[in-house]
Amino acid sequence: MALALTELTVSHFRSHKLARLSLDSRPVAIHGPNGAGKTNILEAVSLFSPGRGLRRASAAEMTRRPEALGWKLSGVLDARGKRHEIETWSEGGAARQIRIDGKLASQVDLGKLARIVWLIPSMDRLWIEGAEGRRRFLDRMALSFDPGHAEATLTYEKAMRERNRLLKDQVHDPHWYAALEDQMAEAGYRVHRARLNTLVHLRAAQEQAETAFPAADLDLVQADGPMPETPGELRDALAENRFRDMAAGRTLIGPHRSDLTGVYAAKGVPARDCSTGEQKALLISLILANARALSRLSGAPPILLLDEVAAHLDAGRRRALYDEICALGAQAWMTGTGPELFSDLGDRAQVFEVRETDGISEVVGG
């Protein structure tokens, strides 16, 4: 049973004053010139899942200017044969709120319904930039398998920030550290296990697939030796490392020091040393593996958001991508500058055009 948004209404969000889309479970192709507001639609869809969306923007940044009235997104999600009405909104720059079937809900509640993964142009440099971006990429995948992953990550990061403040202030009283290290140990262990479990799912999905995209050998490595294997071991390691951390002014062990490494399996070449095209193909391969794994585990692939993905593929790879998406039965939202980029999809997709006039975006077609 497909997971799909069948209705989407966007109000005062980014460049869109009001947009309404009626959909089915087929892929969604959105074309229009650069700056017209295509990615804004994908960002709106990304907010039907936990987190800050594909741009990681604050609620205030998403509101349409110059009105700055706040924004609201509403939609109908068909999930595993059940229909859910979802609303998410922000007023006056406040933290966004969520309502599911008329009742206020949490982001964890939302994550249990909507599994959404994405690939955007800023990820193209994933393998050659810092470890933080790779951790975030892996965490987004982990969240698709475990809706509680975001909560564990936030708990760990909050406790670590407070511990780092003590370290910078040269506080020596162990009682101040103990409670924070307890939180970090429990949440950090959950974060690390979720990441490792995600790699297991991705490896299995790649091994079992016949695909035109290259497989990646993935591993999770630590900057300062092996990650402690239990919450108790992590708690002890944090306590033992206090004086070293105090000298550095920050916490030097834990899941925030992890890094995702990738190797182009068929060539044995580290992803960071691959060509730009090969790096892009590896990323697409991982997104498709994520979708296949979720489909196998939950019975439905996630919603895919693929921003400007077609422009960076040759015609053969583009056809292969579309064929894999359709074979999965995934509702993939894809953007491109012209309709010709999606011609191979034919009537397998719903096609929309985004136009911009005087700073206001308009969605037509469908």
Least confident range from 45-49, 72-76, 220-224: namely: 220-224
Choose among 71, 41, 68: nearest CA to 54.
Answer: 41
Cis (ω within 30 of 0) for the bond into 50? no
Q: What is the pLDDT of residues 288-334, one digit of tens each?
A: 999 999 999 988 999 999 999 987 788 999 999 999 999 999 999 99
Residue 342 per-residue DSSP state: G
Q: Is the domain 124-298 a CATH 1.20.1050.90 member?
A: yes
Band of residue 335 on the pLDDT scale cut at 50, 70, 90? very high
Would you say residue 159 has pLDDT above 90?
A: yes
Residue 210 has what pLDDT? 85
Number of H helices, E strands in the chain: 10, 15
Residue 271 has what pLDDT? 97
Residue 351 has what pLDDT? 97
Band of residue 93 on the pLDDT scale cut at 50, 70, 90? confident
- Cα Rg for the chain, rounded, in angstroms? 21
- Greatest Cα-to-Cα distance within the chain, rounded to the nearest angstrom: 67
Separation CA 149–CA 152 (nearest Å): 5
Helix-helix angle 315-328:276-298, to 10 degrees? 10
Q: Tell me: is residue 34 an annotated ligand-binding position.
A: yes
Q: Where are the domains of the chain?
A: 1-115+302-366, 124-298
Q: What average pLDDT does the chain have?
A: 94
Q: What is the pLDDT of residues 115-136, one digit of tens each?
A: 999 999 999 999 999 999 999 9
Q: What is the pLDDT of residues 8-37, one digit of tens each?
A: 999 999 999 999 999 999 999 999 999 999
Mean pLDDT score, 90-108: 94
Q: What is the pLDDT of residues 201-251, one digit of tens each?
A: 999 999 988 888 999 999 999 988 889 989 999 999 999 999 999 999 999
Separation CA 271–CA 278 (nearest Å): 8
Q: Tell me: is residue 95 an annotated ligand-binding position.
A: no
Q: Where are the alpha helices (DSSP H) in 35-173?
A: 38-46, 59-62, 107-113, 131-145, 149-168
Would you say residue 60 has pLDDT above 90?
A: yes
Q: Within 13 Å, how many C-alpha atoms sit on residue 364's CB side?
A: 8
Residue 141 has what pLDDT? 96
Would you say residue 362 has pLDDT above 90?
A: yes
Mean pLDDT score, 153-167: 97
Separation CA 284–CA 332 (nearest Å): 13
Would you say residue 366 has pLDDT above 80?
A: no
Band of residue 68 on the pLDDT scale cut at 50, 70, 90? confident
Residue 1 has what pLDDT? 57
Q: Tell me: is residue 251 an annotated ligand-binding position.
A: no
Would you say residue 337 has pLDDT above 60?
A: yes
Residues above pLDDT 90, as percent of the chain = 89
Q: Tell me: is residue 155 an annotated ligand-binding position.
A: no
Q: Within 13 Å, how many C-alpha atoms sit on residue 172's CB side?
A: 1
Give the CATH number of domain 1-115+302-366. Answer: 3.40.50.300
Q: What is the pLDDT of residues 192-210, one digit of tens each?
A: 999 999 999 999 999 988 8
Q: What is the three-state SS of 180-243?
A: HHHHHHHHHHHHHHHHHHHHHHHHHHHHCCCCCCCCEEEEEEECCCCCCCCHHHHHHHHHHCHH
Q: Tell me: is residue 38 an annotated ligand-binding position.
A: yes
